[in-house]
Chains A and B, each alone.
Chain A
């Protein structure tokens, strides 16, 4: 099955990436809401193994930052205090995968804070916020894509299987939705719903809105598959055995749609994650203080942040490996998902 190898590679990559985000509590040294107002906008700390005196340390360490003389927002390294990096430390409480209470973190420090990726305006650790923010954004993307695929399947199957006026009507509505520019419709829909809501409500709104906008293209694809499978002789044969519609759909027709649905999933999930990011970036999505990749980038809209605090851009880069993995998966699926055809074997064996 040499066609499977790239597919499994991308799947493994995705599982690892999602796994890290799912176990954000473990990989993040601090709670994402924990503030440190004394030290806003700290730049990323540099890892050292050789100290000022030239001594080599086995354990990597950091220098804390202190305010530069005469400045009130410029930090520099304080080479007197070393903060050694410890692994598998006990830190703030969190719930692993949402339910297991835990205190173990991958790394941390005893006598100071380690901000690997710097901190934001309230002194919150960026690395932690990025990891936890990933949970929100990825979940929004997955749920939204799931909703769209579900809606699309329902509509596509009904249109393709029932045919007639139902098909006509549904496809006309799909055409309407396809004629609308996706992003504009998303914004417009979001606009008509209440703006000042709690983070959970905002999250659900984002999922529902993104989920109900993009159903038209999957619906068309599913309809195409259903139409072609409906005419296959094995469906006719099953009907000849007295099969009911439900049986035909369950046993023969819907399994054929899985390949087109999985390819669509690989294409849609990153788009939906991006949609959540865009909405949150513009203030229409998940609000503060809950982190999401989108609202982590929101303060980049201020000129001062753009100029002085370049590390606030880093959350934007975290989505790139995810996009890459999903794109690779989509390509691999498209190559793998030729319909499971019976290749013509030459009749050389006596039958």
Chain B
């Protein structure tokens, strides 16, 4: 129990540290933020004046930080100048769309990576393993920008897939089933891009983890006892290889929010990515900070979840933790 508390405390400290760091970075901006904002036609001068007064942006940094933390606690996370609304709800709507994409992609990627990786490890050095190594090496070499753009061009020229956005025009009037179908077709390309960019590393890691375990004497002893091969692989080998894989899962979960930025922008998926980009170009400070914080929460949370899972899955860690 104490172990869990310590990890949680650690995670919370990390989040505070990150938010302070981001706030510190924002002071790097040379010159007054509001000067640039005043030049921006999107923001009315009255808003600027009232915000200036309301948020006391000329106040020292610690005060601003304290007010922002307060605002986070209330779920508002500061104020967006461009959208003229609190940041929190804004992020939430976009985050939902992003998660729809990334959760699907992560599930598919893992569902493919596990059997492929195990297969490669089981046939180490032989044809299936070598073919797989080759494929992953080729896919690894293609950066996600190139991949996303390539897929987009393919979509445009073939006309098979819609080329952007999440829903078609006239979405509201569709039946629920057709609505789902519509979103699904729009989702296909981004999900394919995300899966292809994540799959090679995942397969490699699974293969490495399982291959290391397959070498273990206890497995050979089990085989000597006559346990059938498939059960050996899935129930025995996979269990032991679970540790590095759980950490990898934690990392996968951690990048749920941040990993799809580029794909979303290229394919015009209305997620956190395009929002962040807009905010950057419009100098919308609190949206940027909020976005960074949200993705950090996921990263830290993913690691924490992995710690929890490890605690549950590996009795060795449990005893070590209990001994503290």
Contacts and interface: CB of A to CB of B under 8 A. Distances in A.
Q: Do A and B contact each other directly (Cβ–Cβ < 8 Å)?
A: yes
Contacts of B300: 179
Interface in B143-163: 143, 145-146, 149-150, 152-153, 156-157, 163
Contacts of B142: 320, 323
Contact of A187 (B29, B141, B156, B280): B280
Interface in B113-137: 137
Contact of B156 (A270, A282, A307, A317): A307
Nearest to A187: B280
B323 interface: no
Contacts of A313: 149-150, 153
Q: Is the interface of B mostly helix, strand, loop or mixed?
A: helix
A274 interface: yes
Contact of B25 (A192, A270, A281, A310): A192
Contacts of A193: 28-30
Interface string A308-322: 001001001101100
A322 to B, nearest CB: 9
A311 to B, nearest CB: 11
B299 interface: yes
B279 interface: yes
B288 interface: yes
Contacts of A194: 29-31
Q: Is the interface of A mostly helix, strand, loop or mixed?
A: helix
B152 A306 contact: yes
Given A176-B21, A297-B149, A191 B143 contact: no
Contacts of B262: 183, 278
Nearest to B265: A282
B185 interface: no
Nearest to B272: A184
Contacts, number: 117
Nearest to B255: A181
Contacts of A320: 141-142, 146
B299 A181 contact: yes
B143 A319 contact: yes
Contact of B280 (A172, A190, A270): A190
Interface in A143-169: none
Contacts of B295: 181, 184
- Chain B contact patch, size range: 35 or more
A184 B258 contact: yes
Given A180-B18, A183-B258, A184-B258, A283 B296 contact: no
Contact of A181 (B157, B163, B258, B266): B258
A194 B153 CA distance: 33
B297 to A, nearest CB: 10
Contact of A188 (B22, B255, B257): B22
B150 A184 contact: no
A6 to B, nearest CB: 14
Interface in B1-49: 14, 17-18, 21-22, 25-26, 28-31
A183 B261 contact: yes
Contacts of B296: 179-181
A180 B294 CA distance: 10
Contacts of B266: 301
B18 A176 contact: yes
Contacts of A283: 281
B266 to A, nearest CB: 8
B196 interface: no
A55 to B, nearest CB: 35
Contacts of A307: 156-157
Given A179-B296, A297-B145, A323-B142, A189 B25 contact: yes
A188 B25 contact: yes
Given A181-B299, A316-B150, A274 B261 contact: no
Given A306-B152, A324-B141, A317 B146 contact: yes
Contacts of A184: 258, 261, 276, 291-292, 295
Interface of A: 172, 175-177, 179-181, 183-185, 187-195, 270, 274, 277-278, 281-284, 297, 300-301, 303, 306-307, 310, 313, 316-317, 319-320, 323-324, 327
29 contacts: A175-B14, A177-B21, A180-B292, A181-B255, A181-B259, A181-B296, A181-B299, A184-B276, A188-B291, A189-B28, A191-B279, A191-B280, A193-B28, A194-B31, A195-B281, A274-B143, A274-B145, A277-B145, A282-B265, A284-B280, A297-B145, A303-B156, A307-B156, A310-B153, A316-B149, A320-B141, A323-B141, A323-B143, A327-B137
The 6 closest A-B pairs by CB, nearest first: A181-B258, A191-B280, A316-B146, A323-B141, A192-B29, A176-B17
Given A181-B259, A300-B152, 5 more contacts: A181-B296, A184-B291, A282-B277, A303-B163, A313-B153
